Chains A and B, each alone.
Chain A
């Protein structure tokens, strides 16, 4: 039960005198270091990191049986095979659907829950926060049987909805904590000012607070998308129809008990990785800000 609002959670910053001019920045040792001392270790690290990706690309683009170290002559036959013969087109669509809906549901619910945690005090708030944190220690595999039974009772086995709900529920605790910390950083006085101007709580939140939460929302949303995109267990257990399976499950079936088509596996791996890489390329700027600003403070 909500008893009072946490108005003291984020006091408005006091007005201060203008800051004195900063002293001249001391040149640090690495500013004077020769370029090669910076770029050589970075280059080695980059090569070390990128070699496995190059290897995947190599297997995906060179013909089966080729031992060439460059993907030439190039072939797209592995991509065609996994996309059409192995159903990756369908798996991709299903994964996008699960990822996007999980992103939306996680963000919306985390926003509402996070706002409550940031702005209201209620009797079991500490216990609730503790429960949220503790829920992170419970592995999904432990809950498979009860979840299966619940979804079976709701006639949701073999439906993407079961995977979306399970993914959302497992994403929510961390997302809520992140969002609540982010909201705490927005001065409460801004909302109060909006109320004075005639806004109700929802409108004040929507017009004043929400735009300031963009980095946090992007961080939480992208985290939810990437996690559900890569997550294997729930899709494997709750979906019993080939037409409804997702990319990680499909990827797993490219390896049989005694045989593996490495070209197809590499092509499937690239199809699985590309959306995540694109998402990160676009959002990395906000992601770092979002996670650092929403981080739990000691």
Chain B
């Protein structure tokens, strides 16, 4: 039997279907209320200095409230400009911006930290800000080291693509109550740190001296511990072509650090990212934790301010403190913005003394604006004050990590973290791990030198 698809009522049915389909399309279009991604496109334009700009926060969520407050202040001072805030989780920010670069959907302004600056600059997504900064009231008011750190991370053309808002710093948090009980001294030296880690451990009682970061983000922490102990003050040797990560002193330091795993730390630390690490320190009985200023408020909420302290990294045997750099955070102007004048006004406002102070008080970080760094609240937030002092009083040497290398994120994360876990498990020696990392870094640096001519 063969029945024609054009049945007797097909004509009427088809008309009905077409009407329904057309109606649906019109309804969807009418209710779409969307746009083409942003007010950006092509090489952008200065614009009128009025109207709407879009701001993408690179660490949305916990910072949403303070950014909204700064935006409200800005809109009050600039009633002709409307800022649309979009908070994006830090873990997804790079992929969102990368997609937007490819699809021509960038916002006007975005949070740009040193760790992702090279990638965005290499794709030509950012507008250089040197000239704007020179003619701005911010000129000379920002911490020079932070400005230079962002300039160095920018892609080798000696241009500034992001105006610094804050500096973060590595902190050694320790439980004052547990230290007092055990009669231990403050872990201000690496020797005391290792001694305390051992003495505070009671595996049977589920008490540990330290929690190590074995999962995501482990490499920066391991590098901090290595350079801190070895006292080596530069990431590259005198030629600038060979990294110092596999220097015998660093190898020895990593061996000592990795040996802490399972001896004085929970076995589950192998997969510790910062979330798990901070959570178990806040809810258990672990003596020490290495993290940065960002988690200070979490510890206060969980433990209370009187049960712990956050101090700068321990000093080495010669009394000198060496730390690796933490990515400086900042705000950048996307090249495709069609309203650059208004966007720059917002950047100026957001990095001004008043906004910088508000923002960093909320984030618990060191303000990039010199006047904001003198605010009263800093004296009350001990870890921030100690970090600010350490960064400015000359007591600390910062080893600048090569954020400018476009491959740095891949090399220090996906390619190295699994091998670091092998080191912790004893399946790979610290020397083999560091030799492998050094080889890749040297290649990346050579490639970089070649590109820069």
Q: Which A residues lie at the B interface, using CB under 8 A?
A: 2, 4-5, 7, 64-65, 67, 85-86, 120, 144-145, 148-149, 151-159, 161-162, 200-202, 236-237, 240-242, 249, 252-262
CA distance A240 to B55 in the complex (A): 10
A-B contact pairs, 18 of them (CB 8 A): A65-B282, A148-B100, A149-B103, A151-B34, A152-B36, A152-B104, A154-B32, A155-B32, A158-B34, A158-B37, A162-B34, A200-B7, A202-B13, A241-B86, A252-B92, A254-B61, A257-B59, A258-B293
- The verdict on A7 contacting B36 (CB below 8 Å), with A148-B103, A253-B87, A253-B89 known, is no
- The verdict on A155 contacting B34 (CB below 8 Å), with A2-B5, A65-B303, A255-B61 known, is yes
CA distance A4 to B40 in the complex (A): 52
Q: Which B residues lie at the A interface, using CB under 8 A?
A: 1-3, 5, 7-9, 13, 28-29, 31-38, 54, 56, 59-65, 84-92, 96, 99-100, 102-105, 107, 168, 274-275, 278-279, 282-284, 291-295, 297-298, 301-304
B35 in contact with A145 (CB, 8 Å): no
A257 in contact with B90 (CB, 8 Å): yes
Q: Is the interface of B mostly helix, strand, loop or mixed?
A: mixed
- Since A157-B38, A158-B33, A259-B294 are in contact, a sample of 6 more A-B pairs with Cβ atoms closer than 8 Å, ordered by chain A residue number, is A65-B282, A159-B32, A200-B7, A237-B96, A249-B89, A259-B298
- Neighbour of A256 across the interface among B61, B99, B100, CB < 8 A: B61
Determine the chain A residues whose CB is within 8 A of the CB of B297 once the complex forms: 259
- Neighbour of A152 across the interface among B3, B33, B105, CB < 8 A: B105
CA distance A67 to B31 in the complex (A): 48
B107 in contact with A240 (CB, 8 Å): yes
B36 in contact with A253 (CB, 8 Å): no
Interface centre among B2, B61, B302, by most chain A C-beta atoms within 10 angstroms, is: B61
CA distance A255 to B301 in the complex (A): 16
B92 in contact with A236 (CB, 8 Å): yes
Determine the chain B residues whose CB is within 8 A of the CB of A4 once the complex forms: 2
CB distance from A279 to the nearest CB of B (A): 25
- Neighbour of B168 across the interface among A152, A241, A258, CB < 8 A: A258
Which B-chain residue is minimally distant from A85 (CB atoms)?
B65
- Neighbour of B292 across the interface among A158, A258, A260, CB < 8 A: A258
CA distance A86 to B298 in the complex (A): 17
CA distance A195 to B32 in the complex (A): 41
Determine the chain B residues whose CB is within 8 A of the CB of A152 once the complex forms: 36-37, 103-105
- Neighbour of B279 across the interface among A85, A161, A262, CB < 8 A: A262
Which B-chain residue is minimally distant from A4 (CB atoms)?
B2
Determine the chain A residues whose CB is within 8 A of the CB of B54 once the complex forms: 240
CA distance A244 to B375 in the complex (A): 37
CB distance from B328 to the nearest CB of A (A): 13
- The verdict on A148 contacting B37 (CB below 8 Å), with A5-B2, A237-B96, A255-B275 known, is yes
- The verdict on A256 contacting B278 (CB below 8 Å), with A145-B99, A161-B34 known, is no
A255 in contact with B91 (CB, 8 Å): yes
- Neighbour of B88 across the interface among A151, A158, A253, CB < 8 A: A253
CA distance A159 to B29 in the complex (A): 10
Which B-chain residue is minimally distant from A149 (CB atoms)?
B103
CB distance from B279 to the nearest CB of A (A): 6
